[in-house]
Amino acid sequence: MTDATVIVNADLPGPTISRHVYGHFAEHLGTCIYGGIWVGEDSPLPNIGGIRADVVEALREIAVPNLRWPGGCFADEYHWRDGVGPRHERPRMVNTHWGNVEENNHFGTHEFMALCELLGADPYVVGNVGSGTVREMSEWVEYLTRSGSSPMVDLRRANGREEPWRVPFWGLGNEPWGGGGNMRAEVYADLARQYATFCKNHGDNVLYRIAAGASEDDYAWTEALMRAVADMRAAQFPGRPFEAVSVHYYTIGGTWTDKGPATGFDAAAYWRTIRRAQAVEPILRRHIAVMDRYDPEGEIGLVVDEWGTWWDVEPGTNPGFLHQQNTMRDAIVAALHFDVFHRLADRVVMANLAQTVNVLQAVLLADAETGTLVRTPTFHVFEMSTVHHDAVAVPVHVRAPGATHEVAGEALPTVSASASVRDGVCHVSLTNVDPERSVDAVVEIRGARVGAVGGRILAPESVGAFNAPDHPDDVAPRPVDELEVTPGTVRVTLPPHAFAVVRVDLHDLPDPR
Ligand code: AHR
């Protein structure tokens, strides 16, 4: 057992944690869309206009705030006109990035927008810069968001949709430094400015345009994009080319050629994973430092629109489908990321886990043949964290000198925490990364009196525990029954490899939020 004091400054106002940092990403990749989300209206599985009803129900439980689509790499070979109109007339294509399989375009613009409407999620549409045209992207925006009469509006109407949709988030291509066109940063920065120019606001739909950003620690890429922002601000006719830049950061436990299995991993792989997950914070901070130099007012947002674990695919599955299981280790990686997003909430305005169903760090594993649906450990972290959506982040300090584990000469902290306040209630997220030792955590609430407390915890038998159709609840939250309240503190025992959210009612908060 180790000791930790978690000091929560409940009265110190911080930035709002945008619910959009709890966003998701669904690509035409493997069985994420086909089988995972879309089964078609003729499927024997219960569906709502072709969309799996059980998946909709589960995703509603985690209050998906936004959904990124159609890629990923797929976005830069996707031509939206192929995905509208009568389904049986839609042209087919080859998904060259993901398994070289045929794409029949049955899940297109209308189907995606129907999914977003069912979920109450804001659409985040990624346009094609790599192999598309400015006109194609511009017309897609018009098709989606314009009302009245115009060539694209008339086409939409002919395809059965009278009213425009609201599309707040718009991506200007994906990974242009790689599969999105193998461009140099300055070339892409100019293209992003050009494409963004023709992504217009129609009516009252205001686009939040996101330039495709860096991979991991490529700070030069961020710098090139921010320079493009600054140049345009300083131009004779000043303007803003885009509203945000993105960054992609994946957590692997090995190397990109040998990422290791999703289950049955050893302690060394576990700790390498934790090290890699924790490295996201200094990396994001350096990107933010670059942004601060060009945009000290913090007007441009940072969007982590791909993040999550990436393991070797499950044995016997198509290597191009990126299908992996999901254990308590994945849940801990998610919890660590959310603590970081909460701490950096003034610049990190949005994030998207890769990916929603059946791909990479999925929240759901859905089998189209058997009709089963499994909520993964990561799902539960998202569900337990909905309390932080749009709440005010408050500063948290963790004092736990004994809670470290050495990896490659580096002492990794094994206790992580963050907190938010809304309507006089504080929620504290607590993670014990250590798979061997429990933590005796004393949460010290400053700036308000502690009232009623409660909480839920995810703490399965082992860090390698996972859920499957024949044991769907091996990793599931339960109420925390080990809470002990003294004036000003809440004491909680965190078992090994655990994630908890503790709720504290606050009294006498000077500025009730
Ligand atoms: O999420 C899988 C892939 O990872 C995405 O398509 C791409 O953007 C990234 O390299």
Active site residues: 175, 306
Mean pLDDT for the chain overall: 97
How much is the pLDDT for 191? 97
Give 4-45 pLDDT, tens digit per residue: 999 999 999 899 999 999 999 999 999 999 999 999 999 999
Domain containing residue 503: CATH number: 2.60.40.1180
Distance 161 CA to ligand 1 centre (A): 31
Helix (H, G, I), strand (E, B) or coil at 26: coil
**Cβ–ligand 1 contact at 71 (below 6 Å):** yes
Give 374-385 pLDDT, tens digit per residue: 999 999 999 999
How much is the pLDDT for 253? 87
Distance 197 CA to ligand 1 centre (A): 26
In a domain, 188, yes or no: yes
In a domain, 14, yes or no: no
Determine the atom of ligand 1 nearest the C-alpha atom of 98: 6
The number of domains in the chain is 2
**Cβ–ligand 1 contact at 333 (below 6 Å):** no
pLDDT at 482 over 80: no
Same domain? For 437 and 485 the reply is yes
In a domain, 512, yes or no: no
Final residue of a structural domain among 388, 404, 431: 388
Query: 341: which residues sit within 8 A by CB, 6+ positions away?
Result: 17, 21, 304, 348, 351
pLDDT at 513 over 70: no
Which token pair is 475?
A: 């990793």
Considering only CA atoms, which residue is closest to atom 8 of ligand 1?
Answer: 72
Same domain? For 382 and 313 the reply is yes
How much is the pLDDT for 2? 83
3-class SS shares of the chain: helix, strand, coil, % to 5: 30, 30, 45
Average pLDDT of span 483-512? 93
Q: Are 208 and 168 in contact (CB under 8 A)?
A: yes
Considering only CA atoms, which residue is closest to atom 3 of ligand 1?
Answer: 72
**Cβ–ligand 1 contact at 306 (below 6 Å):** yes
Considering only CA atoms, which residue is closest to atom 5 of ligand 1?
Answer: 72
Same domain? For 446 and 476 the reply is yes
How much is the pLDDT for 512? 55
Percentage with pLDDT > 90 across the chain: 95
In a domain, 27, yes or no: yes
Q: Which domain holds residue 437?
A: 2-9+392-507
- Taking every pair of Cα atoms in the chain, the longest distance, rounded to a whole number of angstroms, is 68
Same domain? For 185 and 268 the reply is yes
Determine the atom of ligand 1 nearest the C-alpha atom of 306: 1
How much is the pLDDT for 424? 95
Give 152-201 pLDDT, tens digit per residue: 999 999 999 999 999 999 999 999 999 999 999 999 999 999 999 999 99
Query: 123: which residues sit within 8 A by CB, 6+ positions away?
Result: 66, 67, 69, 112, 113, 116, 165, 166, 167, 168, 169
**Cβ–ligand 1 contact at 175 (below 6 Å):** yes
Considering only CA atoms, which residue is closest to atom 1 of ligand 1?
Answer: 354
Determine the atom of ligand 1 nearest the C-alpha atom of 175: 8
Query: 393: which residues sit within 8 A by CB, 6+ positions away?
Result: 14, 15, 16, 17, 342, 343, 345, 418, 419, 420
Q: Where are the beta strands (DSSP E) in 93-182?
A: 93-95, 101-103, 122-127, 169-172
In a domain, 336, yes or no: yes
Give 77-131 pLDDT, tens digit per residue: 999 999 999 999 999 999 999 999 999 999 999 999 999 999 999 999 999 999 9
Same domain? For 428 and 339 the reply is no
Distance 72 CA to ligand 1 centre (A): 5
pLDDT at 438 over 90: yes
Final residue of a structural domain among 358, 388, 418: 388
Q: How confident is the model at residue 307 (pLDDT cuts 50, 70, 90)?
A: very high
**Cβ–ligand 1 contact at 30 (below 6 Å):** no
Q: How confident is the model at residue 66 (pLDDT cuts 50, 70, 90)?
A: very high
Final residue of a structural domain among 388, 403, 435: 388
- Rounded to a whole number, what is the distance in angstroms from the first to the last CA of the chain? 35
**Cβ–ligand 1 contact at 27 (below 6 Å):** yes
Domain containing residue 194: CATH number: 3.20.20.80
Same domain? For 375 and 428 the reply is no
How many residues are recorded in the chain? 513
Percentage with pLDDT > 70 across the chain: 99
Same domain? For 164 and 221 the reply is yes
**Cβ–ligand 1 contact at 77 (below 6 Å):** no
b or e along 22-37 (b: 16 or more beta carbons within 10 Å of the residue's beta carbon)?
bbbbbbbbbbbbbbbb
Same domain? For 126 and 250 the reply is yes
Same domain? For 403 and 282 the reply is no
Give 224-233 pLDDT, tens digit per residue: 999 999 998 8
Same domain? For 321 and 245 the reply is yes
In a domain, 513, yes or no: no
**Cβ–ligand 1 contact at 72 (below 6 Å):** yes
Same domain? For 195 and 233 the reply is yes
**Cβ–ligand 1 contact at 171 (below 6 Å):** no
Pocket test for ligand 1, best of 248, 252, 310 (most atoms within 8 A of CB): 248
Distance 377 CA to ligand 1 centre (A): 22
Considering only CA atoms, which residue is closest to atom 6 of ligand 1?
Answer: 72
Q: Are 440 and 493 in contact (CB under 8 A)?
A: yes
Same domain? For 287 and 416 the reply is no
Distance 41 CA to ligand 1 centre (A): 29
